[in-house]
Chains A and B, each alone.
Chain A
Amino acid sequence: MGRHRLLEHTADMGIEIEGDDLADFFLQAAQGLMAVVAGREKPEIRQMRRIEIEGEDLGELLVNWLNEVLFLLEIKGFFPAVFHIEEVGARRLKARLEGEPFDPQRHRLEREVKAVTYHQLRVEEQNGRWRARVFVDL
């Protein structure tokens, strides 16, 4: 079972991610990001979105994946509740997201993330487990 943990930083926040396999790793990363942005606010499942992401390497794929989730929420107004990682390789990821339209009247978010950064970003595999730390600019 993978996990994610929020890291403390004076000005910004980080997410420590650990996954049993790559799919679990990307799932934990998205859940960690939602913990930063939405806190305990939980959307319902009423809609579905499919997304496909590419990156030059696993680090860039991770940053692009998280930025895409943010973009969906902030700009497309889709508030994801559940992430299904359907296919993942070193440079490509396909996912299905379930959630509902974001409604500023009903949903209270915790904070806005400006960007997911490359700061000290390294995705590592150890004994079949995938780990990374990623910092977000708030």
Chain B
Amino acid sequence: MAIKLERCGPNRWRIPREGKMRTEGLVFASESMVDLLREENALQQVANVATLPGIVGPSIAMPDIHWGYGFPIGGVAAFDPDEGVVSPGGVGYDINCGVRLLRSAMHAAQLRPLLPQLADVLFRNVPSGVGSSRRDLRLSAGDYRQLLTQGAGWAIRQGFGTAGDLEHIEARGAIAGADPDRISERAQERGRAQLGTLGSGNHFLEVQEVETIEDEAAARVLGLFPGQVTVTVHTGSRGFGYQVCDDHLRVMRQASRKYGIELPDPQLCCAPLASPEGKEYLAAMACAANFAFANRQLIAHWVRESFEQVTGLGPADLRLNLVYDVCHNIAKFEDHVVAGRQRRLCVHRKGATRAFPPGHPETPAPYREIGQPVLIPGDMGRYSYVLVGTAGGFAETFGSTCHGAGRVLSRHAAKKAARGQDILADLAARGILVRAASRATVAEEISAAYKDVMEVVGVVQAAGIGKIVARLRPMAVIKG
């Protein structure tokens, strides 16, 4: 079935309500992106989400939308707590996949001579490949329970970071309602083996340089300046989250039948938010989200240690402080105003980043004037972006924006495009060092495999659902 798409504003397209849809679809995209989108099934997925019970407002798609299992990646959907549903497919396998940005007091020129050594040390200190882990990280059963309920706070209390970090993490690094008793043994086991690891694919750790500043006032508040060294960590809840998702997809397949929810695609399986199955998923999802917050906290700690080891500078000189840590795969209860009425809603963001506006109580106090920082990773050969949330986005997208670039080439096609090129040497010639655990990762993650993230954030800014602050250029990339 061809999906109807009508322009409904600048960089906005409507999928009109048809058939079993309970609401319309709202897609943020430029003219050229829409032509590509028409060839994909992702728009059908936006329409599929619109059929779910209790959806409030439109089924929303960000400019980096692409096909996902069930919900599209780049999708946002809000549900009423009484009439609505929660769906593991609306969060994704990698629960609380997210991005963390650290700034430093160093200039890129200062670090450049030490970069090869730093890349090696980071690659050694932060486990990335399949089967690798930090042998010195051992968890008792009691520790594990605390990690799952306290997230980043647990890691900080164990000595991985400082108390000041918490204020700079979405939800202060822990989602409420986590119940470790809802976690399968297999999820526990996978988590235990992979805590403090980066993972492979599009996950990465990057040492970067602030390349351009577009909003000087906001950059000053975020502590960013041109030429500054920053570090970005992009990872999530590892095997723990994948297993929680898998465990609950099974439960939800049965729950959908039990509650008579008609599904256009079995991967959309869900349960009412008010049902035992829905509540159990949210309690398990919160554990996985907290696992991911702790995971990024541990990795950031080893980043700080690696910098100290290589530069010989102490924390007071390096000032590797947390700018922000934000998730882009999550379902959360939040207060939003819909048709003039304040409502508590469960907002699903799958490949979409929370982007709260200036003045919002959940925007951290130091950033209250400028809005919540939004971190948008690009590909390893180009750049990543720092944005802030806007009031317009809060009203129109439940305070959400894009999350990245999105693939345009399959892995096979990327490998073919990379054939005959020495990708590592080409990147090194451009001042980008890469350390990767797998050969395939390097070829599959070439820039040409991704959309240009500049186009994505350009649409976001033009549509008013995010404001660009700075662009970061990779110097050293660590990949699984």
What is the interface of chain A mostly: helix, strand, loop, or mixed? loop
When chains A and B are docked, how far (Å) is the Cα of A67 from the Cα of B194? 16
Q: Tell me, yes or no, whether B394 is within 8 Å of chain A by CB.
A: no
Given A75-B190, A102-B131, A118-B249: A112 and B480 interface contact (C-beta under 8 Å): yes
A60 to chain B, nearest CB (A): 8
Q: B438 contacts A104, CB within 8 Å?
A: no
A118 to chain B, nearest CB (A): 6
When chains A and B are docked, how far (Å) is the Cα of A9 from the Cα of B413? 10
Q: A114 contacts B93, CB within 8 Å?
A: yes
A104 to chain B, nearest CB (A): 5
Q: Tell me, yes or no, whether A110 is within 8 Å of chain B by CB.
A: yes
- Considering only residues 1-22 of chain A, those with a C-beta below 8 Å from chain B are 6, 8-11, 13
Interface size class of B (residues with CB under 8 A): 35 or more
Given A39-B440, A110-B440: A115 and B410 interface contact (C-beta under 8 Å): no
Q: A71 contacts B413, CB within 8 Å?
A: no
Q: From the candidates A11, A71, A104, A115, name the one contacting B245 in the complex (CB within 8 A).
A: A115
Q: A118 contacts B267, CB within 8 Å?
A: yes
Q: Tell me, yes or no, whether A109 is within 8 Å of chain B by CB.
A: yes
Residue interface bits A83-108, CB-to-B below 8 A is 1, else 0: 00000000000000000001010001
Q: A104 contacts B132, CB within 8 Å?
A: yes
Q: Tell me, yes or no, whether B201 is within 8 Å of chain A by CB.
A: yes
Residue interface bits B130-150, CB-to-A below 8 A is 1, else 0: 111000000000000000000
- Considering only residues 50-91 of chain B, those with a C-beta below 8 Å from chain A are 66-69, 73
Residue interface bits B393-428, CB-to-A below 8 A is 1, else 0: 000000000000001111111000000000000000
Q: Tell me, yes or no, whether B167 is within 8 Å of chain A by CB.
A: no
Q: Tell me, yes or no, whether B186 is within 8 Å of chain A by CB.
A: yes
Q: B69 contacts A119, CB within 8 Å?
A: yes
Q: Which residue of A lies closest to B412 (CB)?
A: A8
Q: Tell me, yes or no, whether A51 is within 8 Å of chain B by CB.
A: no
Q: From the candidates A11, A104, A109, A119, name the one contacting B73 in the complex (CB within 8 A).
A: A11
Q: Tell me, yes or no, whether B266 is within 8 Å of chain A by CB.
A: yes
- B239 proximity list for chain A (CB < 8 A): 74-75
Q: Tell me, yes or no, whether B439 is within 8 Å of chain A by CB.
A: yes
Q: Tell me, yes or no, whether A73 is within 8 Å of chain B by CB.
A: yes
- B411 proximity list for chain A (CB < 8 A): 8, 13, 111, 138
Q: From the candidates B67, B130, B440, name the one contacting A104 in the complex (CB within 8 A).
A: B130
Q: Which residue of B lies closest to A9 (CB)?
A: B410
Q: A104 contacts B249, CB within 8 Å?
A: no
Given A74-B130, A75-B239, A114-B242: A10 and B408 interface contact (C-beta under 8 Å): yes
Q: B69 contacts A10, CB within 8 Å?
A: no
Q: A117 contacts B69, CB within 8 Å?
A: yes
Interface size class of A (residues with CB under 8 A): 20 to 34
Q: Tell me, yes or no, whether B246 is within 8 Å of chain A by CB.
A: yes
- A138 proximity list for chain B (CB < 8 A): 201, 411
Residue interface bits A25-44, CB-to-B below 8 A is 1, else 0: 00000000000010100000
Q: Tell me, yes or no, whether B461 is within 8 Å of chain A by CB.
A: no
Q: B441 contacts A111, CB within 8 Å?
A: yes
A59 to chain B, nearest CB (A): 10
When chains A and B are docked, how far (Å) is the Cα of A9 from the Cα of B68? 11
Q: B131 contacts A77, CB within 8 Å?
A: yes
B202 to chain A, nearest CB (A): 9
Given A104-B131, A104-B132: A112 and B201 interface contact (C-beta under 8 Å): yes
Q: Tell me, yes or no, whether B216 is within 8 Å of chain A by CB.
A: no
- A114 proximity list for chain B (CB < 8 A): 93-94, 201, 242
Given A74-B239, A75-B193, A117-B267: A8 and B439 interface contact (C-beta under 8 Å): no
A101 to chain B, nearest CB (A): 10
A49 to chain B, nearest CB (A): 16
Q: Tell me, yes or no, whether B262 is within 8 Å of chain A by CB.
A: no
B166 to chain A, nearest CB (A): 28
Q: Tell me, yes or no, whether A137 is within 8 Å of chain B by CB.
A: yes
- A104 proximity list for chain B (CB < 8 A): 129-132, 437
Given A104-B130, A104-B132: A111 and B201 interface contact (C-beta under 8 Å): yes
Q: From the candidates B200, B253, B413, name the one contacting A112 in the complex (CB within 8 A).
A: B200
- B189 proximity list for chain A (CB < 8 A): 75
When chains A and B are docked, how far (Å) is the Cα of A119 from the Cα of B409? 20
A38 to chain B, nearest CB (A): 9
B92 to chain A, nearest CB (A): 8
Q: From the candidates A10, A102, A109, name the one contacting B438 in the complex (CB within 8 A).
A: A109
Q: Tell me, yes or no, whether B199 is within 8 Å of chain A by CB.
A: yes
Q: Which residue of A lies closest to B444 (CB)?
A: A111
Q: From the candidates A10, A39, A110, name the one contacting B407 in the complex (CB within 8 A).
A: A10
When chains A and B are docked, how far (Å) is the Cα of A104 from the Cα of B128? 11
Interface residues of A (CB under 8 A from B): 6, 8-11, 13, 37, 39, 67, 71, 73-75, 77, 102, 104, 108-112, 114-115, 117-119, 135, 137-138
In the complex, given contacts A10-B410, A73-B131, A115-B242, what are 15 additional A-B residue pairs having Cβ atoms less than 8 angstroms apart? A9-B410, A37-B130, A73-B130, A74-B193, A74-B194, A75-B190, A104-B131, A109-B130, A109-B438, A112-B130, A112-B199, A114-B93, A117-B267, A118-B267, A135-B69
22 A-B interface contacts by CB (under 8 A): A6-B412, A10-B410, A11-B66, A11-B67, A11-B407, A13-B410, A13-B411, A37-B130, A39-B440, A67-B246, A71-B186, A73-B130, A74-B239, A102-B131, A104-B130, A108-B439, A111-B438, A115-B242, A115-B245, A117-B69, A118-B253, A119-B69
7 closest A-B pairs by beta carbon, nearest first, are A112-B200, A110-B440, A8-B410, A114-B242, A114-B93, A75-B193, A104-B132
